[in-house]
C-alpha cells in the first residue's frame, strides 16, 4: 500500500489515466516571442475543446504535443514518453491535422496507401465508411478539390488512423452545415474511450455535445484544463430575463441575459462554451477561475 494515498485516490488514478502530461512547458520563437509560457496540465482520454484568442498559442501547443516543435523549457509526454525524443514507437500513436495540409499524392487513397503503413491502428474499413459518409470515393484529384472537399478527404483518413492522440486544428474549416453534422457523428463513431482528441476551433457549437474537457489558453498562458463535468459542478451557465444578482459574468443576448454563476446546489449544468470563453476573456476571469478551482466542502 502506498503511504499517504487513500483507496479513493488510487481508484481515481485507474479510471482517469493521464494520456498527455504537460510539465512547465515553455516555447519561445527565435525572435523572442513566447508562445507558450510555463504551462502544466494532465489531459486524460476523451474529446477536449481547445479555446483561445488569435495568437493565444493553440497551434503551437498542438505542435508541441505532436512532437513537431521542441520545447524551450519543460516537457510534453504522451503515454509516459517525452515527445521531444520523437521515438517512432510514440509517434505512431500521435497525429496532428493542421487547418490546411498538402499531400504528396494525387488522391487521398494514394496518400493513405503510403502514409498509413506507419500507423498500425489504421482501419481500411473505417476509412471506406468515412469516405462514404462524406460522399467521396477517395479517387478524386486532391489538388482539384475545393477547400471543403480537401478537408473532408483528410478527415476521412485521419479519423481512420485510430491513434491514441489525435490533434485537430479547426477540423470544421470549409465544411457546410450538413458536413459538420456528418463530422460530429463520425468523430463520435471513430473515437474510442482510450483515445485523446484535442479540437482547436473558434466555432464551438459544431461539436459541443462531444466535449469531455475544456482547455483554455490566453496570450500563451494556460488558464484552464479540466473535464467538463468538473467545471459544471462549480459554475452554471444560465439565461434569464434579468441578470442574476450573484452573477460572476453577464452579457446580453437576444431577449435574455446570459450569465455565469457559481453552482451553489452542486447540480450539473450544461456549459455554454461561447459564454464561458467571453467570461474568461473579461475582467471576471480571476473570479471564475477561482470558483472553478475551488475545493468542495467535502474536500
pLDDT at 13: 37
User: What's the rounded Cα separation, in Å, for the pair 78 and 42?
Assistant: 10
What is the value of pTM for the model shown? Answer: 0.90
pLDDT at 268: 62
- Residue 181: C-alpha distances to residues 176, 188, 207 (Å): 9, 11, 8
pLDDT at 266: 61
pLDDT at 3: 44
Whether 152 and 198 share a structural domain: yes
Whether 165 and 56 share a structural domain: yes
Alpha helix (H) ranges present in the chain?
7-15, 58-65, 88-91, 108-115, 124-133, 147-158, 177-190, 228-234, 273-280, 285-293
Report whether pLDDT(211) > 80.
yes
How many CA atoms, within 13 angstroms, populate the side-chain half-sphere of residue 221? 6
pLDDT at 15: 38
pLDDT at 80: 86
pLDDT in tens, 70-115: 999 999 999 889 999 999 989 999 999 999 899 999 999 999 999 9
pLDDT at 32: 82
Whether 283 and 214 share a structural domain: no
Whether 134 and 246 share a structural domain: no
User: Does residue 22 form part of some domain?
Assistant: no
What would the mean pLDDT of 247-265 be, rounded to a whole number?
Answer: 92
Whether 204 and 238 share a structural domain: no
Confidence of residue 267 (pLDDT cuts 50, 70, 90): low
What would the mean pLDDT of 33-53 be, rounded to a whole number?
Answer: 96
The CATH number given to whatever domain includes residue 141 is 3.40.50.300
- Total domains in the chain come to 2
Report whether pLDDT(9) > 70.
no
Percent of the chain exceeding pLDDT 70 equals 92
| End-of-domain residue from the set 195, 219, 243 | 219
Answer yes or no: are the C-beta atoms of 157 and 110 closer than 8 Å. Answer: no
How many CA atoms, within 13 angstroms, populate the side-chain half-sphere of residue 85? 12
User: Does residue 14 form part of some domain?
Assistant: no
| End-of-domain residue from the set 190, 219, 248 | 219
Read off the DSSP letter of residue 295.
P
pLDDT in tens, 118-175: 999 999 999 999 999 999 999 999 999 999 999 999 999 999 999 999 999 999 988 9
Mean pLDDT of the chain: 90
Whether 271 and 245 share a structural domain: yes
Range of the domain at 250: 228-293
Whether 108 and 136 share a structural domain: yes
Amino acid at each position: 500500500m502506498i503511504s499517504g494515498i487513500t483507496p479513493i485516490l488510487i481508484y481515481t488514478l485507474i479510471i482517469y489515466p493521464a494520456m498527455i502530461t504537460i510539465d512547465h512547458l515553455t516555447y519561445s520563437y527565435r525572435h523572442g516571442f513566447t508562445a507558450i509560457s510555463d504551462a502544466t496540465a494532465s489531459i486524460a482520454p476523451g474529446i477536449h475543446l481547445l479555446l483561445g484568442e488569435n495568437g493565444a498559442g493553440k497551434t503551437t501547443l498542438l505542435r508541441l504535443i505532436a512532437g513537431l516543435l521542441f520545447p524551450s523549457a519543460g516537457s510534453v509526454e504522451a503515454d509516459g514518453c517525452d515527445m521531444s525524443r520523437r521515438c517512432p514507437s510514440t509517434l505512431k500513436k500521435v497525429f496532428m491535422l493542421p487547418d490546411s495540409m498538402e499531400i504528396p499524392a494525387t488522391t487521398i487513397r494514394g496518400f493513405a496507401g503510403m502514409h498509413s503503413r506507419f500507423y498500425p491502428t489504421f482501419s481500411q474499413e473505417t476509412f471506406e465508411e468515412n469516405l462514404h459518409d462524406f460522399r467521396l470515393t477517395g479517387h478524386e484529384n486532391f489538388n482539384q478539390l475545393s477547400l471543403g472537399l480537401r478537408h473532408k478527404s483528410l478527415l476521412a483518413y485521419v479519423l481512420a488512423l485510430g491513434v491514441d492522440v489525435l490533434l485537430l486544428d479547426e477540423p470544421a474549416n470549409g465544411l457546410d452545415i450538413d458536413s459538420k453534422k456528418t463530422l460530429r457523428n463520425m468523430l463520435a463513431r471513430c473515437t474510442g474511450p482510450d483515445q485523446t482528441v484535442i479540437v482547436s476551433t473558434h466555432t464551438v457549437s459544431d461539436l459541443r455535445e462531444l466535449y469531455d474537457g475544456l482547455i483554455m489558453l490566453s496570450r500563451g498562458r494556460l488558464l484552464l484544463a479540466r473535464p467538463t463535468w468538473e467545471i459544471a459542478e462549480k459554475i452554471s451557465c444560465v439565461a434569464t430575463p434579468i441578470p442574476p444578482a450573484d452573477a460572476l459574468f453577464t452579457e446580453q443576448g437576444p431577449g435574455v441575459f446570459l450569465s455565469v454563476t457559481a453552482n451553489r446546489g452542486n447540480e450539473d449544468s450544461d456549459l455554454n462554451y461561447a459564454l464561458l470563453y467571453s467570461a474568461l476573456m473579461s475582467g471576471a476571469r480571476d473570479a471564475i477561475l477561482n470558483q472553478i478551482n475551488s475545493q468542495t466542502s467535502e474536500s
